[in-house]
Chain A
Amino acid sequence: MLALRKVTKRFGPITALDDVSLEIAPGEFFGLLGPNGAGKSTLMSLVAGLRAPEAGTITLDGQPVASGASVVRRNLGLVPQTIALFPGLTAEENLRIFGELQGLRGLNLKAALDEAFAAAQLEDRRRSLVKTFSGGMQRRLNLVAALLHRPKLLLCDEATVGVDPQSRNAIFEYLQRLNRSGITIIYSTHYMEEAERLCSRIGIIDHGRILALGTLDDLLTRLPFEDELTFPANSATAPLAAQLAAVGEITVVDGTHRFRPRPGYPLSAFFALAESLGLPPRLFTSQRPTLEALFLHLTGRKLRDA
């Protein structure tokens, strides 16, 4: 559906995207995970046709995006990172304007508005000024404004920044419903939890380059360990930590020991050792490797610090 071939974009001396190639199939929920400044928004803006790359091509259903052809634009929906609405107008006036700009008229427009307000759970606030909405309500309206014309490809650029957990959940569920209905979604975020929860395939991006690409399971298998055990870092656990250094990688983060056993090291040996030191099993938590860990592995930096 969407294909990027050797795309490069520069802003003066800064290379925002560096030789990026990527293919996204119809119906995918693709996550673009990376820290701030990694190139996510630049990639989104190129796919949306807002900017042109210095090198490479981007095609949507075989048509070059940069051509600005109406058929390409009508297949795209963009949810910007900011609340891209007119705060001095009512919710309905906002959606009506965006719907009409997409060519919707009459009954089609009315149906699209009804559907959008139902999806955003804002039916009773249609005639309220947007500036009177809470942040979560504005985010939901911001999202549905991009869907009025039923695009094939939805670009969500960090669409839940600053949203309360309840609204975030509502947005996630709506996006998942949309995806199940056949809409392809590219979702950029710097929250690994969001990518893990929503996306069927994830691209990890940093400094304008795609570092890893695949399903969540594919990506996690790239880590040189399979599991991670955590336990409190204190005087009681210090002897255990000292002995574990010989059979794996042990680190202390925020008062917690993180133990990543070497491949082949049986967890039964770990628990036997802990028991011999008089440490109860409830101290230990077994964790699945995360995208955070993968990012750390790939870049040497934490996602949130990058």
Chain B
Amino acid sequence: MSQVRILLRKGLLSFWRNKAAVYITFLVPILLIYLFGHVFGLYRKDSGPTGIPIAVVNLSSEPAAQKLIAALRAEKTFAVITTRDLGKGATRPLTEADVRAGLHDNWYRYALILPADLLPDQDFGVRMKFLFNPRNEIESQMVNGLLQKTVFSNVPQLLGQSLQKNARRFLGDERFKRFNRTIANTVADNFGGDRDAIYRQTIAGDFGFSDLSRIDAKPELAPPGVPTGDGPPGLRRLDQSNAAVSPSPNRKPEIETQKPADIFSRMVKIETEQVAGKELKNPMAARLVGGYAVMFLLFAVSGSVTTLFEEKDSGVFQRLLSSPVRPAHILWARFLFGVILGLVQITVLFCAGRVFFGLDIFGHAGALLAVSLSAAAACSAFGMLIAAISPSAAAANGIATFVVLSMSAVGGAWFPVSFMPDYIQRVSKLTLVYWSVEGFADVLWAGRSLLEVLPKVGILAGIAAGVMLVAVWRFNRGRLFD
């Protein structure tokens, strides 16, 4: 037993003396838990995502349209965009063409069009169009649910207005006013209240629905995991409803018209149109594979640079540096090794994505190669920086574990960035993971060309160059080559 005790003491002492092991065991998990708490918004008093941009095109002159927009603005989940910036402070209202371009270019992923016939003259009900680019599956589910909630909370008022509009057309203006005056007087006489106020409410189509709409209705999302066809799961209830709808004049084959089952939704006609990614066999995989490829690339490259320490400790550096080899040769060789390793790893992972999920990697080979190469270069430079700032291989492994996991979480490799708090979203854009994931999504989801992905390739190349410069500077001041 005493032997066990002695060996146990040895184990504890050795562990305690190995500061890198202590940090990895205690400090790194604590920091990661703290950081992930921010990423997933655990420190917020409220819950759920905020500020997801949604474009709204209002072609309707109905006051109800403005109320609906106001209701959307009141939802913290959405950042409602209704105008286009023309520069120098000038703006103009968005058009459908604007939002289609914006959806395609990923400026926003959701758009609601309130048409001129929001309340049709020849029909009783409400019409609107919802365009979306479900680049983030989870986000799409959430947005669709919240959008339904907001719209349906305001449907009674809209329907009241629609009813009055049709009544005016049917009765004529004079009889319509007399009819409503009679109703207002009857209500006031029997239930109390001001006759004129009731008349104004009635003629505006508000039959007390404004009070109903203040009752917070919960969004009705499709259950997780329920298959939804090509559309996002949040639209399932609409997709699966049975009522017939009038076809849109310019309706494309992929446009679906929904027919809700309840009393209000039977009168609400929402056309939905997926603007991008319709042709993808497995949209989720397009994002998933890219995110995980970058994370594992970071792990692989960071791990490989620790061999620099092994070579230093073994005396190989002494041998090399006493020959015509310079420190810069060693560093750049290691950087290029990381780039090649990364490129091969990404290729293998995307090939696996092709086999398992049917990812279209050959249709966009040029753009995919450019993003992969720049991402690999950025990851390799990052690995070099970790080696440059670490005093030992063990410390480098600890730092790499912490930074790779943090950067993957913050950069959106696991979880849509749009679900994170605003300040995390701003930090996200400082990470190479964000730009890599976005670059891969541009290619695999949006089918962008080489020319179109060049800005993101440029950002990644810039990150690679900048980080590598810092790494070389640190190497020159560090003790790796002592």
Partner of B321, one of A50, A81, A83, A86: A50
List 23 A-B residue pairs with CB atoms under 8 Å apart, sorted by A's residue number.
A48-B322, A49-B321, A50-B322, A73-B322, A73-B323, A73-B324, A76-B322, A77-B322, A78-B318, A78-B319, A78-B322, A80-B318, A80-B319, A81-B315, A82-B313, A82-B314, A82-B315, A85-B314, A87-B314, A98-B323, A101-B320, A101-B324, A101-B325
Q: What's the interface size class on B, roughly?
A: 10 to 19
CA distance A85 to B315 in the complex (A): 8
Determine which of B313, B315, B322 lies in contact with A49 in the assembled complex, contact meaning CB atoms within 8 Å. Answer: B322
| Interface presence of B211 (CB below 8 A) | no
| Contact, CB under 8 Å: B324 / A103 | yes
* Interface: A91 (CB within 8 A): no
B482 contacts across to A, CB distance below 8 A? 51
Decide if B261 is an interface residue (CB 8 Å cutoff): no
What 4 A-B pairs have minimum CB-CB distances, sorted nearest first?
A80-B315, A84-B315, A82-B315, A78-B322
Chain A contact residue count (CB 8 A cutoff): 28
A156 within 8 A of B: no
Contact at A68–B326, with CB atoms within 8 Å?
Answer: yes
CA distance A24 to B447 in the complex (A): 70
What 0/1 readout, one digit per residue, does chain A (47-58) give for beta carbons within 8 Å of chain B?
011110000000
Give per-residue flags for B307-339: 1 if the beta carbon is below 8 A from chain A beta carbons, else 0.
Answer: 000000111101111111110000000000000
- Residues of A contacting B322 in the complex (Cβ-Cβ under 8 angstroms): 48-50, 73, 76-78, 155
A-side residues, CB < 8 A to B, are 45, 48-51, 68, 70, 73-74, 76-78, 80-87, 98, 101-103, 145-146, 149, 155
Contacting A at CB under 8 A, from B463-482, are 481-482
Residues of the B chain whose Cβ atoms lie less than 8 Å from the Cβ of A82: 313-315
Q: Give bound CA distance, A80 to B322, whole Å.
A: 10
A49 to B318, CA, bound (A): 10
Contact across chains for B316 and A85 when beta carbons are under 8 A apart? yes
Number of residue pairs across A and B with beta carbons under 8 Å? Answer: 54
Q: Which of B313, B314, B316, B318 contacts A50 (CB 8 A)?
A: B318
Q: A51-B482, A83-B314, A85-B314 are in contact. Are A70 and B319 (CB under 8 A)?
A: no
CB closest residue in chain A, given B329: A101
Known: A82-B314, A84-B318. 18 other contacts (CB 8 A): A48-B318, A48-B321, A49-B321, A49-B322, A68-B326, A73-B322, A74-B324, A78-B318, A78-B322, A80-B318, A80-B319, A83-B314, A83-B315, A85-B316, A86-B316, A102-B323, A102-B324, A149-B323
- B324, A84: Cβ atoms closer than 8 Å: no
Query: Which residues from B are CB-within-8-Å of A85?
Result: 314, 316
* Residue contact A84 to B323, C-beta cutoff 8 Å: no
- Give the distance in Å from the alpha carbon of A257 to the alpha carbon of B316 in the complex: 47
- How far does the alpha carbon of A151 sit from the alpha carbon of B114 in the complex, in Å? 84
Cross-chain contact of B316 among A49, A84, A102, A155 (Cβ < 8 A): A84
Return chain A residues, CB-CB under 8 Å to B318: 45, 48, 50, 78, 80, 84
Contacts of B321 in A (CB 8 A): 48-50
Shortest A181–chain B CB gap in Å is 21
Binary contact track B95-130/A, C-beta < 8 Å → 1, others 0: 000000000000000000000000000000000000
Minimum distance in angstroms from B308 CB to a CB of chain A: 13
In the assembled complex, which residues on chain A have CB atoms less than 8 Å from the CB atom of B325?
A: 101
Chain B residues whose CB sits within 8 angstroms of the CB of A81 once the complex forms? 315
Which residues does chain A contribute within 8 Å of B313, judged by CB atoms? 82
Q: Is the CB of B324 within 8 A of A70?
A: yes
A16 to nearest B CB, angstroms?
12
CA distance A51 to B313 in the complex (A): 16
Q: How far is A74 from B324 in the complex, measured between Cα atoms in Å?
A: 7
Chain A residues in 8 Å Cβ range of B319: 78, 80, 84, 98, 145-146
Among residues 426 to 482 in chain B, which have CB atoms less than 8 Å away from a CB atom of chain A? 481-482
Tell me the smallest distance from the CB of B239 to a CB of chain A, in Å.
Answer: 57
- Report A-chain residues with C-beta under 8 Å of the C-beta of B481: 50
Tell me the complex Cα distance, A77–B320, Å: 10
Residues of B within 8 A of A101 (CB): 320, 323-325
B73-99 contact mask (Cβ, 8 Å, vs A): 1 or 0: 000000000000000000000000000
Most buried by B among A48, A84, A85, A103: A84
Q: How far is the CA of A179 from the CA of B284 in the complex (A)?
A: 70
Say how far B382's CB is from chain A's closest CB, in angstroms.
25
Closest to A79 in B: B319
Q: How far is the CA of A81 from the CA of B481 in the complex (A)?
A: 16
In the complex, A86→B313 CA distance in Å?
Answer: 12
A78 surroundings in chain B (CB, below 8 A): 318-319, 322
- Residues facing A in B160-211 (CB within 8 A) are none
- A168, B319: Cα distance in complex, Å: 21
> In the complex, A83→B482 CA distance in Å?
17
Chain B residues near A145 (CB-CB < 8 A)? 319
- Which chain B residues border A73 with CB–CB below 8 Å? 322-324
C-alpha gap A101/B322 in the complex (Å):
11
CB neighbours of A146 from chain B (8 A):
319
B279 to chain A, nearest CB (A): 46
Q: How far is the CB of A101 from chain B (nearest CB, A)?
A: 5
Name which residue of chain B comes closest to A49, CB basis.
Answer: B322
- Which of chain B's residues have a CB closer than 8 A to the CB of A45? 318
